[in-house]
Structure 1
Amino acid sequence: MARRKLLLFLKPFDVYPASQSNSRSRFTNNPQILHYLDDRLKVHKEAISFCQKILQKKSVDWEPIFRNKLSQPIRDVDLVVTVGGDGTLLQASHLIDDSVPILGVNSDPTQAEEVQEYCGEFDATRSTGYLCAANVKNFEQILDSILEGQTVPSKLSRMSICINLKLLSTYALNDILIAHPCPATVSRFSFKIKRGDQPCSPLVNCRSSGLRVSTAAGSTAAMLSAGGFAMPILSQDLQYMVREPISPGAAVSGLMHGLITSDQSMDLSWFGKEGLIYVDGSHVFYPVQNGDTIEISSRAPVLPVFLPSPLLSENKLPGC
């Protein structure tokens, strides 16, 4: 049997403010914060070292790479292991098709007692790791289960985006935001929901701060914070919400927030001078201009992800 090939996809160290000399000076008056940030960097480094030691014990070939050093599609590996948090897993997902499974290792999980201890001083929240099935405590156990074929990945829906009928190379695992580059500028656009060539909704004309569309995996992130609802993690539907609609009566029209089912798509026309489509956060974005058309649907390659057991048990959430 051929040896398995793994890629260890790592969150870099330079994202921690305490690791940069120009940032450390900002915290000289509060050594407690500086010590906290130093500790976060130390914990992350230790998690990487731990995962590497575990891999060295296994009959696998593996290669470590920091996520800021890779921009080409990931191919010819049997498993991608991300060490960081959800952001690291999201970035890896942009480089993976539906043939390579991914396992997320949360390198620095939030500690509830620590958040409570420092709540009067600063936000001590660490990594959420919503999609990460592993941490340093259970990494070897979960890895062994995967290598032995006892655990199979779940198939998470992703979102495809076409601009002027051209499919973007990036699929969204969490959500997209379509808005003006300046958040204080009004966005003007219209949209309708379609099934095939047949409209399922009237044309909706919007003046607002933009439009957000999420997958099921992203429905517990910004969408939920904005007043949306959590969807079952394995749902193939998309959820959309017009952000801060301006038109009188728009908020009660019933069309500012809804679902795009797996057999439907959203056709959107952009009427602003300029705009951006942000994919899974602020790091990946595509420009749009006045008159551009955008098609959004869940007709995208799924992403095989080894999910935390509690997340799978919540797959019966109502509302979808």
Structure 2
Amino acid sequence: MAGRKLLLLLKPVDAYHATQSIPASLFTNPRVFHYLDNRCKVHKEAVDFCQKILQKKSVDWQPIFRNDLSQPIRNVDLVVTVGGDGTLLQASHFMDDSVPVIGVNSDPTQAEEVEEFSNEFDANRSTGYLCAATVKNFEQVLDSFLEGQTVPSKLSRISVSVNSKVLPTYALNDILIAHPCPATLSRFSFKIKRDDNTCSQLVNCRSSGLRVSTAAGSTAAMLSAGGFAMPILSQDLQYMVREPIATGGAISGLMHGLIKSDQSIDAAWFSKEGSIYVDGSYVFFTIQSGDTIEISSKAPVLQVVLPPHLLS
């Protein structure tokens, strides 16, 4: 354990003052302010708790707020993220396959609270799907890793190339290729290509875009759109054409499917504008008509200590 270097990546405390999910008419409601203040308080207490645990360990560690990340994470033995899945996802964009990560869900959803506010607003807190720990078991999870009893899992990520140039950010959850305006039609074509250069037939699409998810991300937007959950350690990707305009029977069977580890999607973009969104809306790359895009799982994996129930 001695000599280990650890990076503690923190969600800023003031991030919990965001109120976009709460109607403006409720801002004067004391219960709503109590809810928001409690979220901030619970997260701050979790941050303080994790730091106190680390102070007891024979490890060198450094805290940093996630918004201050600007360089690749290197020369550490472990990253601990304190926040939720968003904080872990943001960390993953700065990590290769050499550094493992443990996620701490600092503000878990409270079922009784969701029920209490169900007729007023969405009171769900953090899902923490990929987070192996909360304050209740953080020390246990950390010790198990440091003592070599817990081995991180290798999660597949998505690699995207535009005009044969690999984008610098790999997706842990999913990518969305679409027009920046959600009401605007996206025009593109694609085919599934194997490493031996055999291809599916070309599919010409007019739709609201193309989504591709990893196994880890298959329970997020992909599942909500009608996709299916995949075993989390699968190396396959799942793709879906969003809201396609009616197509023939043969083509419609290619609107949704799997990209095997020895396959890629080769796409061509034909709308004037477009964006490739990586793990949500904050990280995106612009594309234009005539650009070619290649999507595959040939990206460095991410080593993540997962909750045991995801592996059962």
- 1:160–1:167 CA contact under 8 A, matched in 2: yes
Q: Distance in 2 between matches of 1:97 and 1:210?
A: 28
Q: Distance in 2 between matches of 1:18 and 1:159?
A: 30
The answer as to 2:223 corresponding to 1:257 is: no
Runs (5+) with no aligned partner, structure 1 = 314-320
Q: What corresponds to 1:17 in structure 2? A: 17
Q: Distance in 2 between matches of 1:196 and 1:282?
A: 31
Q: What corresponds to 1:109 in structure 2? A: 108
- 2:23–2:121 CA contact under 8 A, matched in 1: no
The answer as to 2:96 corresponding to 1:97 is: yes
Q: Distance in 2 between matches of 1:283 and 1:14?
A: 18
- CA offset digits 1:39-85 (Å, max 9, x no partner): 00000000000000000000001000000011110000000000000
Q: SS in structure 2 opposite 1:301?
A: coil
**Residues 251, 244 of structure 1: CA spacing in aligned structure 2 closer, same or farther, 3 A cutoff?**
farther
The AA in structure 2 aligned to 1:110 is T
- 1:174–1:214 CA contact under 8 A, matched in 2: yes
Q: What corresponds to 1:6 in structure 2? A: 6
Q: What corresponds to 1:72 in structure 2? A: 71
- 2:17–2:40 CA contact under 8 A, matched in 1: no
**Residues 234, 63 of structure 1: CA spacing in aligned structure 2 closer, same or farther, 3 A cutoff?**
same
The AA in structure 1 aligned to 2:307 is P
**What is the correspondence of 1:100-179 to structure 2 with a 5 Å cutoff?**
100-179=99-178
Identity, % of aligned positions:
78
**Residues 266, 28 of structure 1: CA spacing in aligned structure 2 closer, same or farther, 3 A cutoff?**
closer
The AA in structure 2 aligned to 1:3 is G
**Residues 253, 124 of structure 1: CA spacing in aligned structure 2 closer, same or farther, 3 A cutoff?**
same
The alpha-carbon deviation at position 200 of structure 1 amounts to 3.3
Aligned residues: 311
Q: Distance in 1 between matches of 2:251 and 2:118?
A: 37
Q: What corresponds to 1:316 in structure 2? A: none
Q: Distance in 1 between matches of 2:18 and 2:38?
A: 9
The alpha-carbon deviation at position 262 of structure 1 amounts to 0.4
The answer as to 2:198 corresponding to 1:199 is: yes
The alpha-carbon deviation at position 117 of structure 1 amounts to 1.9
**Residues 28, 125 of structure 1: CA spacing in aligned structure 2 closer, same or farther, 3 A cutoff?**
closer
Q: SS in structure 1 opposite 2:311?
A: helix
- 1:86–1:130 CA contact under 8 A, matched in 2: yes
The AA in structure 1 aligned to 2:82 is V
**Residues 185, 80 of structure 1: CA spacing in aligned structure 2 closer, same or farther, 3 A cutoff?**
same
Q: SS in structure 2 opposite 1:199?
A: coil
Give RMSD over aligned pairs: 1.9
- 2:14–2:40 CA contact under 8 A, matched in 1: no
Q: What corresponds to 1:31 in structure 2? A: 30
The alpha-carbon deviation at position 29 of structure 1 amounts to 2.2
The alpha-carbon deviation at position 26 of structure 1 amounts to 6.9
The answer as to 2:73 corresponding to 1:82 is: no
The answer as to 2:61 corresponding to 1:41 is: no
Q: What corresponds to 2:279 in structure 1? A: 280
The alpha-carbon deviation at position 132 of structure 1 amounts to 0.2
Q: SS in structure 2 opposite 1:131?
A: coil
- CA offset digits 1:160-196 (Å, max 9, x no partner): 0000000111100000000000000000000000002
Runs (5+) with no aligned partner, structure 2 = none
The answer as to 2:234 corresponding to 1:226 is: no
- 1:19–1:38 CA contact under 8 A, matched in 2: no
Q: SS in structure 1 opposite 2:240?
A: strand
The AA in structure 2 aligned to 1:212 is R
Q: Distance in 1 between matches of 2:138 and 2:103?
A: 10
TM-score by length of 1: 0.93
- CA offset digits 1:180-225 (Å, max 9, x no partner): 0000000000000000252331100000000000000000000000
- 1:18–1:34 CA contact under 8 A, matched in 2: no
Q: SS in structure 1 opposite 2:89?
A: helix
Q: What corresponds to 1:267 in structure 2? A: 266
Q: Distance in 1 between matches of 2:18 and 2:298?
A: 42
The alpha-carbon deviation at position 156 of structure 1 amounts to 0.3
Q: What corresponds to 1:243 in structure 2? A: 242
The alpha-carbon deviation at position 2 of structure 1 amounts to 5.2
Q: Distance in 2 between matches of 1:18 and 1:208?
A: 33
